[in-house]
Each structure stands twice: as C-alpha cells, then as structure tokens.
Chain A
C-alpha cells in the first residue's frame, strides 16, 4: 500500500516535472509533421498521454540508423560493372536489363521501408537528405551505389553533418553523379566544386564566388572512384598540388582542406536550418529563430540532434497557426494515406507509379536541385493524379465486405489492397467528429458529410482539398 502510494506520488511528480499531457491536435500535428502527414489512431494514442517534450524525445531518440526492410536482392548479386567494356553484345544486354531491374527494385525497397518503419521520422530525414544531396539514379546507374548513399542518409539522419557531408561526397554515387572523378589536374571539371557550395553547404549566392568554385575544383582533383571496389580512391598523379585561394585563404589545399574551410562558415548552419524550417515548420522563415537554431548546430559541432529537438520544441513549430499550411509531398500523400488506413498494397510498384505521376520519383529527382516542393507539388497535372490515388486507396475500404464473397471482392482488386474500415468507424461511433479531426489538419472545404459512421465519410475526408495539406 505504501509502495503503491509512493509509486503514484513518483509518477505524478514526473508528470508535473515534464508538463502536462498533450491535446489531440498537438499530438496529431507533431506526428503529422515528423511523419507522413496523416498519423494513424494507434500512433496518436501512443503519445497522447506523454508531455510534449517527452513525445519529442521519443521521436528524436527513436530515429533508426539502419533500415528494417531486408536488403534488396541485388546487393547479394554485385554488379559486374568494371568489365562492361569487355562484354560481348549479349552479355551487355542482359547486364543492362539487370541494371534496369535493380534501379526499380531499390525504389520498391525504400517504399516498403517507409510503409513499415516504426520511425517515420527517420525516413522523412532520409528523404530530406535525398533532396539535399541530390543524385539521379539514371546517371549513377548502379543501384548498389545509390543504395549505399541511401544508407548513409539513414546512418547520419540527425547525426554528424560533417561525416554525412564527407561520406556522401566521397561515395561512388555522388562522385559519379557530379563527375568528381573526371576532375583532373589541368583539366578541372567544376561540377562537384559548384554543387557542394551551392546546394550542400552555403546555398546559392552566399559567401562564395565563381573564383572560389574554380579554385576549389583544383583542390578536389585526385578524387577518383575505384570501380572494382566501388570505393573512393586517392590518385596522387591527378591531383593539382599547387596553391589555391579559397574563401580568402591561401594554401596547397586538397579537397578535405577545402571542406574544412567551408564548414568553418557560420552560413552553413543557417542554410541547413532554413531548409529544415521549410521542411518541418513553415514556408515563412523567422530569421531570429533561424539564427538561434543555427547556433545550436555550431555549439554541438555539427551534431544535428540537439538542434532538431529544439526545432520541434520551438514555438513556431507548435503554433496552431502553422497547422495545415504545408502541402503534402507525393510520398507523404501516398505513404501517409496507406499507413493511416492500414492498407497493405499487394504491388508496391503501383505505389511508386502514383508517386512518380505526381512528380516524385524517388531516387530520380528532376535535376541536381531536387524537387521544388511546397506549393510546386500542386499543379493542374498533380491535382488530378493525387485525386486519382486517393480514390483508388479509398476503394480499399469502400469495397470491403465482411464475411461474405471475399473472393469476389478480391477479384475486383482495389490496387492498394483491402482493409476493414470498422476500427476507424468504431472510433467515430464512440466519439462523433473523431474522423474529421484525425484525417484533416484544418476544416474541410467541400460541403459534404464529414461525420457519422458511413464509409463514404472517410472517403469524403480523404478527397477533400484540405487533406492535401498537413
């Protein structure tokens, strides 16, 4: 009895010291923004008893460093790329065919990971880095290389940015994509030197000049890919050992020296926070807050985790005015909807096809700057493809039949699988209005039926324009 009282006291002290439990809307917003835009009832139930800070901790600490989905087959079947030159036509044909298959299967593999991961935030960060350190698999060519890059994004999801930058830059995927190994002494190729400044670290128009690009491209000479090991290789003979002037400094710099100099610029941390702000909070930047968060990155020497927690704890992130103001990306719309409804799509390729049609073909961003995101997701074309996806997903519960004729139903084949809508409907029965607050971040636009236990209610909510924002 005493023990029980003590325990109760302890629990209540803890609760007080960590603040109060969250409101439904706050829990939903946190999960929606750190996940795929539409958290499931289970996910919300799990964090709602926690204080806001404990919930943020659980999300930030729950980040995985490795994927849970089994490694795609092609990795056990390493590509024989070094020998391509010596292949006869037939061998080369089958080699190319396998290359194409691998490039598809890696996309399906990542979609599976996003559908099944216990930490949606991890995959959101992987996707964020994919759109920050852009590479197009069509140019990288080898799925193994793109997979390796994808694993680096996960390994450092909210970890050490410097290591992330180096591992990505010196990985074969990025080196192939930005022609790094074609950058040689006396014949510089500026592609990588430009993009590391413009896209990875400082942002276009900040700190550096064209001269810095030219000079630093000389420093990166000597960086090569060893094709048989698919690893970085240093080639002394192709390195320009001369003196370079870079961002006001002078020396016989090599690539690593140059990257050190870049990372000394406070602008790097600001650039990163600006991008994360747009990704997680709002398209309207708050310069004072951005400076504050950027300083946390510098204080922790490019370990991003403390800043990430501070960002999720920030007033701006929590401000109800910012709810429903960001457009869901095609990946968020598809993965989020499938996770929300508990749909298990029989063919992942159909999920991929919908994402691609809506403008987001993972592993294949449109160009080196990546997807433009935000409002740019919504054009007249994608307005249609997004609606088509939602209709198809909704058919998964609209066509569900309990206990009878399941065979017939299956024959009608809703493209993303069949699901019993009753668990969702039951919540609505117990708490009228539940579905509306679960599915939408803001009030619906259309004049339709949004309460009640009819299946049509769920469909109406999904097809309302308000479902497009998070």
Chain B
C-alpha cells in the first residue's frame, strides 16, 4: 500500500495508526533544502495585542496601564508563575502541556516601524527597518535551494491577502480560495501561453498562468478532492483555510509553505470582545489542525508559525482600544517544536516612547526555521538560530 493511500484510509480508521502499524517514514532529504517539511504561516493581520494574549498577570503595572482592557487575574489561564493565556487560548492548553507550543517573548527588531504596511514588509522580507527588499524571506531562501519538480508549488496561499514571506517573482505560488476544488478544476483548463516579446507586466501574467496550470495539474493528480475533512474545522474564513491546508497535506501534495491569514487585529477602539473572539478563532483552528495532523502522522512534518506586524501600545487608549506598538510574543506549534518559553517578557517599567523594547529579533525565529528545519544556510540572516526544533 502506498503511504499516501494509507494515510487517506487512516482518516476513516484512525485506530490502525494507533495499533502500531509501522510506516516507512524515513525522510527523503533533498540534496540541499529539506523542503519536505512544511511551514504553515498564520498571519495575524493588523497587529495582535501581545499583552492581552500572554498576560503578565502578576505585574501591577499591567493592570495600571490597562484599567479597562486588562484581563483580570482570576480569568487568566496560568501557564507559569508570571504568565497566563488569555482565556480565549484555552484550546491550546493540550499543545502547551505536551510541549508542542513555543512562546517566544518580546519579539521585534531595532528601530521598530509602527506602520502596518512597512511593519509587515519588514517581517515579510526579513530586512532591517531601514532597508527595503521586495522579495519575501522564504522567496529569498529559494535562491539557495529550490524545491524540486515533484513539488506542486513553492507555496500555497490560502487567505485573500498578500503572499507575505513568499512575495516576489521567484516564488511559484498558487492561491486556493474558499472553494479549492472548483478553483483547481478551472485552473486545469487554463492555456498557459508563451511569448519571447513580453514586457514585464505580460511576462508576469504568463508566468502566473503557467504556474497555476502546473500546480493545479499536480494537486489534481494527488486526488485532494477525495479528502473532505468535513465537520472538523469551523466554517469561518480561517477555518476553511486550515481545512484546505490539512487536505493538501493529507493528500500528499508536496509544498514547503502554506500561508494563512486572519485579519481584524487592528483594535484601535472597542477592543473587546473582538480581540478575544479572534484569539479563540486562532486557537480552535490550530488545536483542530494539530489533532488531524497527528491522526495522519504528519504532525512531526509541519511547523506552524503565527506572527503579526507588531504588538500594541502598553497603555490602552481612550477608546477602549490600543494603538500600534512594538514587541510582542509570537508562537510556534508542531510535533518537532521544543515547547516552552523563549526569551524574556520586556519590562513594562522600561519603555521606549511608551512601547516595549524587543528581546528577541524575529530573524532568530526565521534562522531556526531555515537552518534547523529546512537545513539551509540562510546567509542573509545574520542572527543565530533560536533552536526551536528537537
């Protein structure tokens, strides 16, 4: 029995996996770049309020600066003697307890930019705050080693938003919307077209047609259509994205990166209950995704990274909201993630222009993914790896 077929059946009969059927899962290392390992990027668009996500519930200053928005100590889910989850993160507790969730505290970069677009550009391209680079950081990695022809694409973008870390013409990308199967069928009917005379706009158009057709043909061959996963994820925008991600991986579609997006984190006014709802949406989906990946023995082959362009101002504003801030905790999940805390929470008493000072450069996370997970050199990242993987 082919491995993929087996995994397909295992959705119907998860018990067979539990009963100890041995699979040949020895990883097929690519000569350079172990692209078989997938990274799931989850962008929390708008600037997630880190202080109300991982809460310093013993810090009086937190409650002083956030008289209306501070999450009450008795409501916090305590995960250490100093920090607790927002109650909306309750679904993530099993992953945290099983040490499959990493909390990286105080993530940011020097001279933080408080604009959404510039902020996310810096995160996407892994550039310094004063350097402008168009290509995403994962796109930049492809110049070191490219995924082979057996890959459907370099990345699958599932949200309606920018491809982020996969921006730039050098990445081969496919976007699957809310109806991935219909999209694939239509894409398989596109006639690519070719022209030596094309200007850069037309070249881009033709390249999209070729990539689209190639990716669609590849995914259709893997029969993703037959993997439904109904009733597992909430049928929200993010839920459908996670469902599609899971279907792709279970079908055995090869793709190094899948990008998901959830918007709405720009909570300048009336932050609650919106922010809690967003966090709960994220946690329910990640928990469900982890479950289905484990059943299919894929959990060790994926790493989920959630990130946001910045955190929010320490003090709440006068509109029961928070303005743009700087450093914030970011999260990783996966079977091979070494769970626990990384770095230190920036001091609320030691601010720079009312904002937190970052403790860990976001590129330390990227370095860990690029070097420890994908086995690349990633020379353009000067920072050392955070060592997030076991």
Contact = CB atoms under 8 A, between A and B. Distances in A.
A5 to B, nearest CB: 50
A446 B193 contact: yes
B380 interface: no
Contacts of B269: 179, 182, 189
Given A381-B177, A469-B201, A445 B193 contact: yes
B205 A443 contact: no
Contact of B268 (A182, A198, A325): A182
A98 interface: no
Contacts of B187: 380, 383-384
A375 interface: yes
Nearest to B173: A380
Contacts of A466: 202
Interface residues of B, number: 47
Interface stretch (B80-88, B234-242, B318-326, B363-371): B318-326
Contacts of A205: 118
B175 A465 contact: no
A289 B353 CA distance: 40
A445 B268 contact: no
Residue with the greatest number of chain A CB neighbours at <10 A, chosen from B162, B177, B317: B317
Nearest to B199: A325
A316 interface: no
Contact of B183 (A179, A210, A325, A384): A384
A238 to B, nearest CB: 10
Nearest to A372: B162
A204 B115 contact: yes
Residue with the greatest number of chain B CB neighbours at <10 A, chosen from A374, A388, A442: A442
A184 interface: yes
Interface in A441-468: 442-443, 445-446, 464-466, 468
Given A182-B317, A379-B175, A368 B197 contact: no
Given A383-B187, A466-B202, 16 more contacts: A187-B318, A190-B324, A198-B115, A210-B353, A214-B353, A324-B199, A326-B201, A359-B160, A366-B160, A380-B175, A380-B208, A381-B177, A381-B183, A384-B190, A442-B199, A465-B202
A325 B193 contact: no
Residue with the greatest number of chain B CB neighbours at <10 A, chosen from A189, A368, A465: A465
**A-B interface, 3 closest residue pairs, ranked by CB to CB distance from nearest:** A187-B318, A381-B175, A380-B212
A369 interface: yes
A379 B319 contact: no
Nearest to A379: B175
5 contacts: A326-B201, A379-B173, A380-B208, A388-B186, A445-B193
Nearest to B186: A384
Nearest to A195: B115
A191 interface: yes
Interface in A354-390: 359, 366-369, 372, 374-376, 378-381, 383-384, 387-388
Contact of B205 (A182, A191, A210, A378): A378
A133 B186 CA distance: 36
B117 interface: yes
A378 B208 contact: yes
B208 A379 contact: yes
A375 B202 contact: no
B253 to A, nearest CB: 15
Given A191-B323, A380-B211, A445 B202 contact: yes
Nearest to A323: B199
Interface in A29-60: none
A327 B205 contact: yes
Contacts of B344: none
Interface string B159-202: 01111000000000111110000010011001101110111111
Nearest to A179: B268
A194 interface: yes
A351 to B, nearest CB: 19
A194 B114 contact: yes
A190 B201 CA distance: 37
B259 to A, nearest CB: 12
B115 A189 contact: no
A198 B114 CA distance: 11
Contacts of B114: 194, 210
A29 to B, nearest CB: 14
Interface string B307-330: 000000000011101011000000
Contacts of A187: 317-318
Contacts of A380: 173-175, 187, 208, 211-212, 215
Nearest to A380: B212
Residue with the greatest number of chain B CB neighbours at <10 A, chosen from A324, A372, A384: A384
Contact of A445 (B173, B174, B186, B195): B195
A279 B53 CA distance: 41
A375 B207 CA distance: 11
Contacts of A368: 116
Contacts of B321: 182
A356 to B, nearest CB: 10
Given A189-B318, A383-B190, A204 B117 contact: yes
